[in-house]
Amino acid sequence: MGLAIAIALGAAALIVALTRPTTSGTAAGLATSAPATYTSAEVAAAHQKLCEVYKLVAHAVQIDTNSDDPAFARVTSVNAAMVLDQTVNAAPALANDDRSAALALAEAYTHASAVASVITGRGDPEWRAAADAVNAKDARMKAVCGPG
């Protein structure tokens, strides 16, 4: 029962993430609008919020990916990706390096979750590549935010 609920929640989270409309504008609109500017305090606050969220989701992923229940690991990875994505989207003052590091980790989490559904075990080369990508992107976020 718990496994079915975890899988259903993970699937629902993935569907929501994939069907959310984007906020991209037209090429003409982008060419004529001036880039927004933010104060150093706004940039620092956005950075702090991202790092708080990153440390929370990284801890959750660490716990659930080291458990004996692969469903929890997949659900947690998808949820972590969504939370990072939402945090980035809610923080327009976020520095580009912070933004790209967080989005890269979110993408790595969702990719690893998808790969985990079709692999034959932890020794599977496709899984190893996905896990290595998550670890590399996580190291980049640790460089942005410092150790947890």
Tell me the pLDDT tens digit for each residue of 9-55. Answer: 454 455 545 555 555 444 554 555 777 899 999 999 999 999 999 99
Pairwise CA distance, residues 133 & 125, whole Å: 12
DSSP per residue, 4-27: HHHHHHHHHHHHHHHHSPP----H
Of 148, 115, 147, the closest CA to residue 131 belongs to 115
What's the pTM?
Answer: 0.76
Delimit the domains of the chain by residue range.
9-14+36-145
CB 102 within 8 A of CB 87: yes
From the centroid of its chain, how far is CA 137?
A: 10
